[in-house]
Amino acid sequence: MKIMSVNAGSSSLKFSLFDMDKTLCIASGYFERVGLEGSFYTIKYNGEKIKEEVELPNHTVAVEVMLDRLITLGIIKDLEEIDGIGHRIVHGYTYDHSVIITDKVIEDIKSYADFAPLHNPAHILGIEACKKALPNVPMVAVFDTAYHQTMPKENYIYPVPYNWYTDYGVRKYGAHGTSHKYIAGRLSEILNTKNYKAIICHLGSGCSLSAVKDGICVDTSMGFTPLAGVMMGTRSGDIDPSIIPYIMEKEGLNAKEVVDMLNKKSGLLGVSMKYSDYRDIRNAIDEGDEQAILANKIFVNTVVKYIANYYVELEGIDALVFTAGLGENSSPARHDIISKLKVLGISIDEEKNKTIGEEIELTSKDSKVRVFAIPTNEELMIAKETLSLI
C-alpha cells in the first residue's frame, strides 16, 4: 500500500510517499512560498533532486502540482495508487489518538486554532486541498499533541485558577508528540521490551523532552504552547511570566508583541544576538565569541535540568535518547549535556559520539544508563498511523 504523509504550513506543503509493504520512502517533496511570489518546489526521488520554479497561488494548486509531478516523473502510474493520506496536525486539544478525518474532525481542528494559530489553519488548507484533488482517498489526522495525553493530571494541570482549565482549556499539551512516539517505539525494538523508563530529547530549532515509562508519556517539557520548556533556536523556553508586563511597560509593547519576541527573537538568537542555528553557535564558540559561549551554556543547563527532573520523576531510567536535527548531528552538544550528568552515572564513549546522523548507542562501559542517538522519522510515523486506521 502507498501512503502519503502531508504537512501543510501557512506558505508551504511538505510530503513523503511511502510504500508501506516495504516501509520505504519512495519520494518526498517540499513546496515553498505558497501564495507568495517566487514559489517553487523540490522533489527527491530515486536518488535525484528535482527543483522547479512554479506559480503556487494557493494550497489547492500546490497539491495539484504535487500529484501531477508524481505521475509525470514516473513515481506512480496513476492517482489510484495512493491508498491513504496522513496529515500532521500540530494541535489536537484532547484527542489522544489519530483519527479518520470527517467533517466533525475538520471543524474540531478549526476550533483549536487559538492554541496553534500559525499551524492549524494551514493544516485545514492542506486537508481541503487534498480532499478536493483526491475525494475518495481516506485521510487521517495525526496530532502532535496526542502522544502526551497519557500524562497524569498532576503533570498537565498548571497551578493557576482551576477554572482557567475547565473554562478555557489552559493546561500542558506538549508538542513533537509524533517524534516522541516514533522514538519510544524504536527504543522498545532496540531494548527488546516494552517495559522500560527513558528520557527522550528531541533537540532541533524547536526542542522538547519527554519522560516515558513503558512506551507511554508521563511528562513533557513543552506546555500550553510550544514556547515552554527548554531554550530553543528562537524561543525562550520557561521564563518568569512577570517579565512580560515588565517589558510591555519598558518597551511600550502589547502582550502579543512581547510573546512574539519570546517566540521569534529569543533563545539562542536572543542571547547570542546573532545566531539561531546551533551550528553557527558552535562555529562562533570556536572563534571565542563570548555571547555564543553564554548561549550554549544556558541551552545545556536548561536541557540538563529537565533530564535531572525526569530522572527523579521516573525514579531512574534505563535509557537516554538524543534525536532530531541537533540531537542526531551535534556531537559537541551531546558531549556538553552528558558531561553534566556524571552525578547520575551517565556517560558516553567519546569515540562513538563522533558519529552523526546515524542510529548508534553512545554508552560508555561504566555508564549506568544506556545512551542512544536515534534519527526520528515523523513522516513514517504519520504513515504508520494512517495505515493502521485505513
Residues with a catalytic annotation lie at: 144
Round to whole Å and give the CA distance between 287 and 275: 14
Inter-residue contact 173 to 229 (CB < 8 Å)? no
Nearest 5°: phi and psi at 366? Answer: -100, 10
Round to whole Å and give the CA distance between 325 and 338: 17
3-state secondary structure of 122: helix
For cell 558531549, what's the residue?
Answer: 335
3-state secondary structure string across 31-80: EECCCCCCCEEEEEECCEEEEEECCCCCHHHHHHHHHHHHHHCCCCCCHH
Largest Cα span, the chain: 61
CA distances from 270 to 12, 273, 274 (A): 26, 5, 8
Cβ count near 193 (within 10 Å): 12
CA nearest neighbour of 319 among 355, 348, 297, 352: 348
Rg value, the chain, Cα: 21
